[in-house]
Structure 1
């Protein structure tokens, strides 16, 4: 997933991303799609628009470093984890400490702007730890921790 980035005239330090020109990309989780706005493979830094269809669930995952999410539309609900029952609504911002782990759902759908210092660890029921793409987390991201 590559963002469509445009450099401003003569300014190699400012990069304009036009999300309206980008396609939504399905994740491996049904009903969860993303538009990658910023991605640095060397550091793991990620900023993405995340769209959740009604009933979509982002399963058991851990935020390796601080995670920040601004809810643009809808509601995100923690369905499992220490903050079970927490609802973050449109116009609200939530940040989570490094090491926090939960399951997030969008019962009626949601659109969020999510920022990660390192991609999430998804804890699979078979014990594997993968990233959002389904790749082994430690092989890809263990060195950038």
Structure 2
């Protein structure tokens, strides 16, 4: 397991049954396609640049302002997606919810599925799949771990 997966596993341990051991960790995103995050980012930059340009506020132009407006778009897009951790343990496949912002800190168990519940097949940069009745997007970085399910 990678260091990130080990850290997520430690943070998730309190939500698992006593003595339950984690074998694999997969991060996923629910809701809209991750590609829409890029659209929100660009749309916010363009919209705010148009407002700034029409108001003739030259002091609000430049790279820092462009980055700030893009971040506004990225934060706005977070209203349309959810973040999930899918764990393969020695007893079950566990789907956890975690916060929209900040580090991966699981909050609650959404589903406990029987061992053998699959995720996939996965392909592409962002693979679309369904787990526990929810459409999830899994980044390529996690495809290898998801294949173990």
TM-score by length of 2: 0.21
TM-score by length of 1: 0.21
More helix by share: 2
| Structure of larger gyration radius | 2
